[in-house]
């Protein structure tokens, strides 16, 4: 099943895919494939922003892996905005897929997850230690278990249209958040083009607003998991800033964009800048190189808490504890890491590895990208691991943090201020009430689990 995300294959793209699949050659899979009764492995996976990746995964990789393991692999691709609802339905029913691949840390679904420590150990034996983002996105420091397995992540740089910014005397684009507002306003005044950070509910808005909150020193939870959204004035500062940014340089459309709305706006030159993964560029590099050449990327902006941007995607997989084929699911995950280099290429370089040695030439690859113009355009992502905190920062991705994320507490808080419905202080207060309720709920879940076990 294909998800709701718009996936359109042009004839040219399809021919390219077929050619690349043919060129892919045999996969580097473990030579298991013992004969026996064929099994089934059911996978639900977030729909990658680059259709080419999913076509490779479904039509090439999964099929080949299935042959090697006497398994029929069924992959359902699900739009990122539908992932949570689908996973919730499955866990409520206690049946569904064996493996569920999320675009964010699925800490909320921890009660339905196996302990993935074994997968990490298996992979670790071949590829070393998982990186910080992967660890802090899938490990529960209280239970000392991994509730999921992280295979990749996507950095979220600033993307901007070079000609717009050059025309107002800022060829390097925005450097810090004051630039975004002030020079973004100059661009809107001069050219009628707004600055379009995604602010609405949904993955893009959620990630963007978590980044903004953190950059101004705000937090949802502190490092120990205590609710910190209102106690910390960084939240108020971030709210006031986003209101000013919207008023001075924004557009009403940014409050309602659906999935990839900001990317489409930039591809259509209707926004001077946004925060996105580089799939935004990959979408136009082949067919509209003139537009792609003009879209530049740079590291996140300097805020009062430093330079940082939460991952656009943290690809984390859960083997359900009610899965019918747990062993197959675990095997699929560890084999996927063995083949991650191909996954990286098929993702157009959007999905960065959680195991560095699977793409050992990552820096070189960024410095000399075969599709980018100039080829070194993505060099500025080379330090992305440094400036990317995990969702849940400064702590781990806890169930409460991720429920707050998935219930769009931050987008609703920011939008209420942007629209003038609440003051920054009142919006932060309302968000705090909501987050405290979520935290209390998970505290009780944890206590209940402790009594049982």
Partner 1 sequence: MVGALLLTLPGAIRPAMGQSSSSLFNFPHFNPPPFDFNDAFYNANGISTAITALDSPQAARFGLFRQTGPPAFLPGQKNWVVDTSNTDPDRNNVRILATTAGYIDDGTGAPTQFISLIAFLLNQNFFTGVANKRGIQMQDIVGTFEAYAAPKQVKPNGTFQPTPCGSMGDPAFQNNCFDVTSVATPTLRQDWRFATNRSPIDASSPFGYFCDDILGMWIITYFWYVDTGFGPHQTNQCHQMLAALGQKNGTNLDGSPIIKTGDELNFLEGKVVGSNPIPGFLGTNPPNPPCTAEGQEASDGSDNGAVWLICPALPDPRNGAIAPDAFLDQVRKPNGVPLDLAFTANFLCLQFTGKFCNELP
Residues within the interface to partner 1 (CB under 8 A): 168-172, 174-176, 178-179, 181-183, 186, 217, 219, 222, 228, 231-234, 236-237, 298-299, 302, 304-307, 367, 376, 379-380, 383, 386-387
Rounded least distance, CB 312 to partner 1, Å: 19
The CA-atom distances, in angstroms, between 163 and each of 271, 290, 295 are 12, 12, 9
Cβ proximity to partner 1, 267 vs 398, nearer residue: 398
Whether a cis peptide bond, with omega within 30° of 0, leads into 120 is no
Cβ proximity to partner 1, 51 vs 157, nearer residue: 157
Phi then psi for residue 100, to 5 deg, are -120, 120
Cβ proximity to partner 1, 20 vs 356, nearer residue: 356
Cβ proximity to partner 1, 114 vs 229, nearer residue: 229
Is residue 387 within 8 Å of 393, Cβ to Cβ? no
Cβ proximity to partner 1, 27 vs 182, nearer residue: 182
Cβ proximity to partner 1, 203 vs 239, nearer residue: 239
Cβ proximity to partner 1, 298 vs 437, nearer residue: 298
- Residue 357 has, within 13 A of its CA and on its CB side, a CA count of 9
Rounded least distance, CB 385 to partner 1, Å: 9
Rounded least distance, CB 187 to partner 1, Å: 10
**Structure tokens of 391?**
């969702």
Rounded least distance, CB 3 to partner 1, Å: 35
Pairing outcome for strands 39-46 and 71-78: parallel
Q: Sign (positive/negative) of CA torsion 398, 404, 408, 409?
A: negative
Please report how the helices 117-127 and 326-338 are oriented relative to each other, as an axis angle in degrees rounded to 10: 30
Rounded least distance, CB 217 to partner 1, Å: 4
Whether a cis peptide bond, with omega within 30° of 0, leads into 31 is no
Is residue 253 within 8 Å of 265, Cβ to Cβ? yes
Beta bridge partners of 319: 99
Rounded least distance, CB 375 to partner 1, Å: 11
Cβ proximity to partner 1, 251 vs 379, nearer residue: 379
Burial class (CB in 10 A: 0-12, 13-18, 19+), 395: buried
Cβ proximity to partner 1, 228 vs 317, nearer residue: 228
Rounded least distance, CB 224 to partner 1, Å: 10
Cβ proximity to partner 1, 329 vs 435, nearer residue: 435
Rounded least distance, CB 433 to partner 1, Å: 17
Rounded least distance, CB 170 to partner 1, Å: 5
Rounded least distance, CB 177 to partner 1, Å: 8
């Amino acid at each position: 099943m294909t998800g709701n995300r718009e996936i359109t294959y042009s004839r040219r793209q399809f021919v390219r895919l077929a050619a690349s699949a043919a060129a892919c050659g045999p996969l580097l899979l473990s030579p298991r494939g013992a004969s026996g009764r064929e099994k089934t492995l059911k996978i639900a996976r977030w729909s990658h922003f680059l259709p080419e990746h999913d076509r490779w995964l479904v039509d090439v990789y999964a099929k080949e892996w299935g042959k090697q393991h006497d398994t029929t692999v069924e992959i359902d691709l699900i739009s990122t905005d539908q992932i949570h609802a689908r996973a919730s339905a499955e866990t409520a029913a206690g049946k569904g897929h064996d493996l569920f691949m999320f675009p964010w840390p699925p800490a909320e679904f921890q009660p339905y997850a196996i302990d993935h420590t074994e997968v990490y150990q298996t992979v670790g034996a071949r590829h070393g230690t998982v990186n910080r983002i992967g660890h802090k996105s899938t490990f529960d420091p209280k239970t000392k278990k991994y509730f999921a397995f992280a295979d990749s992540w996507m950095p979220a740089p600033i993307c901007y249209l070079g000609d717009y910014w050059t025309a107002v005397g800022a060829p390097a684009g925005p450097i810090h958040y004051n630039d975004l507002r002030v020079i973004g306003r100059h661009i809107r005044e001069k050219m009628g083009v707004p600055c379009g950070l995604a602010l609405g509910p949904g993955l893009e808005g959620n990630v963007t607003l978590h980044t903004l909150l953190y950059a101004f020193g705000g937090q949802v939870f502190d490092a120990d998991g205590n609710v910190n959204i209102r106690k910390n004035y960084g939240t108020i500062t971030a709210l006031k800033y986003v209101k000013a940014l919207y008023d001075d340089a924004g557009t009403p459309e940014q409050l309602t964009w659906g999935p990839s709305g900001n990317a489409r706006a930039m591809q259509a030159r209707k926004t001077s800048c946004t925060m996105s993964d580089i799939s935004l560029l990959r979408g136009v590099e082949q067919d509209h190189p003139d537009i792609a050449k003009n879209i530049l990327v740079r590291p996140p902006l300097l805020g009062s808490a430093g330079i940082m941007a939460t991952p656009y995607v943290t690809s984390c997989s859960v083997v359900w504890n009610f899965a019918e084929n747990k062993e197959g699911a675990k095997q699929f995950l560890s084999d996927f890491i063995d083949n991650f280099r191909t996954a990286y290429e098929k993702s157009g370089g959007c999905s960065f590895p959680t195991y560095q040695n699977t793409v050992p030439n990552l820096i070189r690859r960024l410095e000399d990208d075969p599709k980018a113009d100039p080829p070194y355009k993505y060099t500025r992502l080379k330090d992305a691991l440094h400036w990317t905190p995990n969702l849940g920062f400064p702590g781990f991705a806890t169930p409460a943090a991720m429920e707050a994320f998935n219930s769009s507490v931050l987008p609703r808080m920011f939008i209420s201020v942007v629209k003038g419905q609440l003051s920054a202080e009142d919006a932060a207060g309302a968000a705090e009430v909501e987050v405290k309720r979520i935290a209390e709920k998970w505290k009780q879940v944890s206590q209940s689990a402790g009594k049982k076990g």
